[in-house]
A = this chain, B = another copy of it.
Amino acid sequence: MTLHQMPGRLVTIADVAREAKVGESTVSRVLRGRGSYSKRAGERVLEAAARLGYVPNRLAGALAGNADSAGAQLVGVVIPSLANIVFPDLLRGLTGELDATGFQSVIGVSDYDPAREETLVAGLLSWRPAALVLTGLEHTDLTVTRLRAAGIRIVEMIDTDGPGLDIVVGFSNRAVGHASARHLIERGYRRIGYVGHDLSRDLRAAKRFAGFEAALSEAGLGLHDRELVADRSSAAAGRAGLEALMARAPDTDAVYFSNDDMALGGYFGCLGRGWAVPGRVALFGCHALDITAAMPQPLSTMRTPRLEIGRAAARSLTDGAPAGTIDLGFELCQGATA
């Protein structure tokens, strides 16, 4: 736990003040460009700071400054996973936009575990972040209590199916599932199966599935069969899941996957077995990963606005928007597999 540490102390604002022969407050003003100071003072401070290699200590700055006036802050971010490109995409949108405003993000990975999220939130809050960005709407009671008590902006990303704590940015996973089923039904498929990963952990996938099933029953159809792999979402799991499902219910004419990863795996499975897609079985995914557009037959899937969600989340932190839900929707990618 002990880290290597240089002997010499780091340069402080007092050192710069001494070097530039001005007061500490002048240095502070010049370096942040706020308040007024003479041209001469400005030059001397800048030069002294450069000569000494001064690096401001934001820890001290944030502690001293009264939160809402300090320019630079931390934003805490909790995502469930880094293994699924969906979440890095969110981060990408978020950090891209945040960078421009001088915020820095501290990230935590909850591994889809609410208890882990609870711990992460507690840890993140202790850095007195300017805001916290979470994934999904479901949190432990203690997490919610702490979030409320923190009195900062809270953004919940991705899922709009339910009430949020403050700002919610995303799309309706239920509606995605529903629309996916509608698409399959309209294309004439009737014996529709589902291949998914662990739904008890991935609540968004569970909501999509719920919406999907609802659309089927509205159309007077039931789910033809389903295969849930115990594992995380992955191409290998999707392939195995599809093969298991088709072995059990060979007359299935379309399969909805919890995820494009899974769907891509299913597609590979079909290629391997020589099954025509969608002749033998139609495939439908979710998220529209970039890669699916390069497939010989583009995957039929639903584009979800991940980058935009990250960006909107970042923007909502700074624009003083009222609490509420920002629904960014989703879009059918017709593709050629369903």
Contacts and interface: CB of A to CB of B under 8 A. Distances in A.
A192 B261 CA distance: 31
A72 B124 CA distance: 11
Contacts of A108: 95, 99, 104
Interface in A70-86: 71-74, 82-83, 85
Given A53-B149, A152-B5, A294 B320 contact: no
Given A60-B63, A126-B56, A294 B88 contact: no
A36 interface: no
A310 to B, nearest CB: 10
B63 A59 contact: yes
A219 interface: no
11 contacts: A3-B130, A4-B320, A8-B151, A10-B150, A55-B122, A74-B127, A82-B95, A104-B106, A104-B124, A234-B290, A236-B290
Nearest to A149: B53
Instruction: Report how many copies the assembly holds.
Output: 2
Interface in A103-120: 104-109
A128 interface: yes
B320 A296 contact: no
B128 A57 contact: yes
A59 B127 contact: yes
A294 B236 contact: yes
B83 A88 contact: yes
A200 interface: no
A126 B57 contact: yes
Contact of A83 (B3, B62, B92): B92
A229 interface: no
Contacts of A126: 55-58, 72
A91 B82 contact: yes
B271 A296 contact: yes
A298 to B, nearest CB: 10
Contact of A127 (B58, B67, B95, B149): B58
Nearest to A67: B5
Most buried by B among A68, A108, A149, A271: A149
Given A55-B126, A296-B271, A68 B320 contact: no
A99 B107 CA distance: 11
